[in-house]
Amino acid sequence: MSFPSGLKNNRMKTTFYSNGKLLITGEYLVLDGAKAFALPTKTGQNLVVENSSDKEIKWKSFDCDNEIWFEDTVQFSEIINNIQPDANTVKATLINILHEAYLLNPSFINNAKGYNVSTHLTFPKNWGLGTSSTLLNNIAQWTQIDAFTLLKNSFGGSGYDIACAQYNTPIMYRLEEKKPVVEVVTFNPNFIDNIYFVYLNKKQNSKNAIKAYYNNKNEKLSESIIINNKITDALLNAKTDSEFAIAIKNHETQLSNILKMKTIKEISFSDFDGEVKSLGAWGGDFVMVISKENPKEYFESKGYNTILSYKEMIL
């Protein structure tokens, strides 16, 4: 189940929707201005807002199986003053996001009596397709503020995931003087049926991965960005699956050198007849696979049972 980007009005109920995301190239380096190729997914998250009372928000978050994974009540006073009784909890994170939204547009609190809010994921929560970014973008739509500014003031990050939340096409993304630049691109190669996405059965902590990147990037950053941009262009403009596979391999090699980590293929899939590329935070979530044959049997034999085709995954 999915909703179109934007919102629907139904009397006093409003629904906002944001796409999930996959970062294909430019991971980590996008933070320093490199070009990143990213794809919005067919699944995402919606947020439903109803007017209520008592100067509070009754919040419920549902997973893709319609099970509640978070439920709590947040007082308006907690949002206004950023009161977080229990640090490092889902509620504390939510209060911080809503507080930053309040600072950007106080009217959604000051002019309201209360709300009932529910969020609904359409992908499994542990897939890493943007539980946080889709929430941020939906809250930004609801409170009528800029989602990139809300991201900067709360979680931080490059913002490519916010762009994917907002765009229904492949995008090229970069930061120019720390401001997001989004370019809609076409990606529909004749080998698109040879591209698959495989879930690695664990969700990676992107904050830890970014910390590792900053610890290991060196004085050759400008050169690394130039190389990344050339590889990204080569991947986007590949005419054959062989050219695409070469670009994938080159990208993995470059990031391996920067992060001082072995590639995922070296670690887990060295005998695979095709190329495998980490997506986003290295070591978890999804990998992208280019293979002439359907790789389902190979990956299932390794214990990975979530294998999706490009057309199943990407919007």
Look at the block and give the residue holding tokens 């929430």.
135
Distance CA 244, CA 238 (A): 5
Which residues, other chains included, contact 30 with Cβ-Cβ below 8 Å and sequence gap of 6+? 23, 36, 158, 160, 173, 174, 175
Q: From first to last of its 315 residues, what are the pLDDT tens digits of the chain?
A: 333 344 444 447 999 999 999 999 999 999 999 999 999 999 999 999 999 999 999 999 999 999 999 999 999 999 999 998 888 899 999 999 999 999 999 999 999 999 999 999 999 999 999 999 999 999 999 999 999 999 999 999 999 999 999 999 999 999 999 999 999 999 999 999 999 999 998 866 666 667 767 777 776 889 999 999 999 999 999 999 999 999 999 999 999 988 888 999 999 999 999 999 999 778 668 999 999 999 999 999 999 999 999 999 999
Amino acid at 75: Q
Which pLDDT score is estimated for 209?
A: 66
Q: Which domains does the chain have, with CATH numbers?
A: 6-184 (3.30.230.10), 192-313 (3.30.70.890)
Name the pTM for this structure.
Answer: 0.92
Which residues, other chains included, contact 75 with Cβ-Cβ below 8 Å and sequence gap of 6+? 55, 56
Q: Which helix (H) or strand (E) holds 234?
A: helix 221-236
Proportion of the chain in helix, strand, coil states, percent, rounded to 5: 40, 25, 35
Which pLDDT score is estimated for 11?
A: 46
Q: Which helix (H) or strand (E) holds 109?
A: helix 107-110
Which pLDDT score is estimated for 12?
A: 79
Which pLDDT score is estimated for 8?
A: 46
Which pLDDT score is estimated for 220?
A: 83
Q: Is 87 exposed, middle or buried (0-12, 13-18, 19+ CB in 10 A)?
A: exposed
